[in-house]
Amino acid sequence: MAGDKQSLWLCIHLKQLALDAVLRSLPPEELDHQQGLVAVVDQRGSQRWICGFPAALSERGIHQGQALAAAYALLPQLRALPRQLPAERQSLLQVANWACQLSSRVCLHAPDMVLLELSGSLRLLGENWRQVIKQGVRETGFAAGLAAAPTPAASRILARAGSYRLIQSLDPLPGALRRLPLPYLELSDELQSGLASLGVSELGELLTMPRDGLLRRFGQPLLDHLDQIQGKAAERLTTYQPPQQFESTLELSSEVHEAGALVFALRRLLAELETFLRARDQALAAFELGLQHSHGETRWLEFGLLELERDAQRLLSLSQERLNQLQLRAPVRQLTLRVPKLFDHAPAASDLFDQTQPLNELSRLLERLRSRLGPESVHGLSQWADHRPERASRPWPINEAGAAGICPLNARPVWILDQPQPLTDCPGEILEGPERIESGWWDGADIRRDYYVVEQRLGQQLWVYQDCRSKAWFKHGLFS
């Protein structure tokens, strides 16, 4: 029940969502160049008006709902950015995905609020739960205010009014709400005008009016809303269900001509991805980055990892290696990040005798090499059922199970020459051999050789053979 005394509803109010959603597409250096002189504008017919701006501009006369022409008169250098409603919706979903790690009951209240029921999470979050939530919302990159109350409607009203308070029971709720102006309630313009004509301007005045008179004049919806605010009636809310897969798009403020300049946008997408993964306690093994060019074509880049990962900074370092070497075919207007498959996150257990650290460092080195050189340039070796040394192994993708690394072979050097080098005679002292290898008669590439391990005067060990037909000597590999 929304009004249950055990309920505690937190409202996350994204108080400058229109601005934050647009700024995500601006590189930091471009924003610094503007010195904060930006505003988001919406359009009603032929009229353009301000719907988002940095708080500092209010001291220079800029205000919500102001005509753009009036704002230009005050600040000729103001940069007007068009409102991006899809980006606002995506930003709201990002915060909701983050909130899912705190509560099993998360609800959206468009256009700029996320509600979550916290009574079952307070013990887990600890005494400093308000600071924990404030820090978490801040890390998502959005300016937000928090208000908590026993009913979702009351928490929304407090947040909308900028009264970011914590009210944990129903008893003090009427006193906390009574001085709030009626525009902060969720009433239609018609209801607002009707109440104003009666001289009602605050919620407390409305709550003291006779219910019969309100019912006759304004109907049941007004009474229902007042009851939901006070916890006398339940409010029907739809619980948010996070998506099963991740895909997010960021439209850039201007065309990007250098691949390295896409890093700022990718950083924001990866931060959103990390939030999504942590809320679901999942990780990824691969992700895809789509570069949509100005002429409409989308070029997809695939990134594979050797270990499950969800850390945005590590994913960014791998991506940056690739982007720094990428030549763009055309300017990029939009980035899309998607993950084809998600896995449950199982962090490796560590103890005093943990031997996994060198393996992790090797995996990270291989991932950097794959990002820089391309996946096809870095591979392992897998043993092949053929006695001929030059055909006894095959390249194998290092991210496929059972094929990572090099399969050890007895008395075989790691370095096998592409072509055996002719020698005038046996080049040193024989340590092992002969080992007769006679094979390949069935495919026309038959060999008949006697192989030896020999050591030269300076200690280098070679793998050589003598052809049984021609009696000629050849060097085929190096041990050290």
Q: What topology is assigned to 246-352 in CATH?
A: Dna Ligase; domain 1 (3.30.1490)
Q: Quick count: other Cβ atoms within 10 Å of Cβ 156?
A: 23
pLDDT for 141: 82
**Contacts of 12 by beta carbon, 8 Å cutoff, 6+ apart:** 95, 99, 113, 114, 115, 116, 133, 137, 144, 145, 146, 159
**For position 412, what pLDDT does the model report?**
78
- The answer to whether residues 290 and 296 touch, using CB atoms and an 8 Å cutoff, is no
Domain at 9-16+87-230, CATH homologous superfamily:
Reverse transcriptase/Diguanylate cyclase domain (3.30.70.270)
Rounded Cα distance, 125 and 133, in Å: 9
pLDDT at 251: 87
Which tokens go with 288? Answer: 């895809």
**How confident is the model at residue 354, as a pLDDT?**
47
pLDDT on residue 401: 42
CATH 3.30.1490.100-classified regions of the chain: 246-352
CATH 3.30.70.270 in the chain is located at: 9-16+87-230
Q: Would you call 38 helix, strand, or coil by DSSP?
A: strand
Q: Is the peptide bond before 27 cis (omega within 30 degrees of 0)?
A: no
**Claim: this prediction has a pTM higher than 0.75:** no
* Whether the Cβ atoms of residue 475 and residue 462 lie closer than 8 Å to each other: yes
> Please, is 413 exposed, middle or buried when counting C-beta atoms within 10 Å of its C-beta (0-12, 13-18, 19+)?
middle
Cβ proximity of 276 and 290 under 8 Å: no
Closest CA to 49 of 18, 91, 89: 18
Residue 480 has what pLDDT? 66
Domain with CATH 3.40.1170.60 in the chain: 26-83
Angle at alpha carbon of residue 381, lines to 375 and 385, rounded to 5°: 135
The residue among 12, 25, 190, 193 whose CA lies nearest residue 115 is: 12
Burial (CB < 10 A; 0-12, 13-18, 19+), residue 419, is exposed
Q: Is-contact 41 170, C-beta < 8 A?
A: no
Question: In this structure, are residues 246 and 279 in contact, taking their beta carbons and an 8 Å threshold?
Answer: no
- Which tokens in the block code for residue 79? 């940069």
- Peptide bond just before 111 cis, omega within 30 deg: yes
Tens-place pLDDT, residues 358-417: 546 767 777 777 766 666 667 777 777 777 887 777 777 765 443 444 444 456 787 888
CA distances from 244 to 1, 288, 300, 311, 335 (A): 28, 16, 21, 19, 21
State the pLDDT at residue 137: 84
Token digits for 446?
A: 């038959």
Cβ–Cβ under 8 Å, residues 153 and 113: no
pLDDT for 408 equals: 44
Angle formed by the axes of helices 129-139 and 85-99, nearest 10°: 140
CA 362 remoteness from chain centre: 25
Could you give the CA distance from residue 224 to residue 299 in angstroms, rounded to a whole number? 52
Query: According to the model, what pLDDT value does residue 360 have?
Result: 65
Q: What is the mean pLDDT of each run of 10 residues along the chain (480 residues)?
A: 67 93 78 74 89 91 92 92 91 92 92 92 77 83 89 94 84 89 90 90 91 91 93 93 90 85 90 89 91 88 85 89 85 92 73 49 71 70 76 69 44 83 90 88 87 89 92 89
**Matching residue, tokens 């072979």:** 409
Taking domain 26-83, whether its CATH number is 3.40.1170.60 is answered by yes
One DSSP character per residue, 250-309 reads: EEEEEEE-SGGGGHHHHHHHHHHHHHHHHHHTEEEEEEEEEEEETTS-EEEEEEEEEEEE
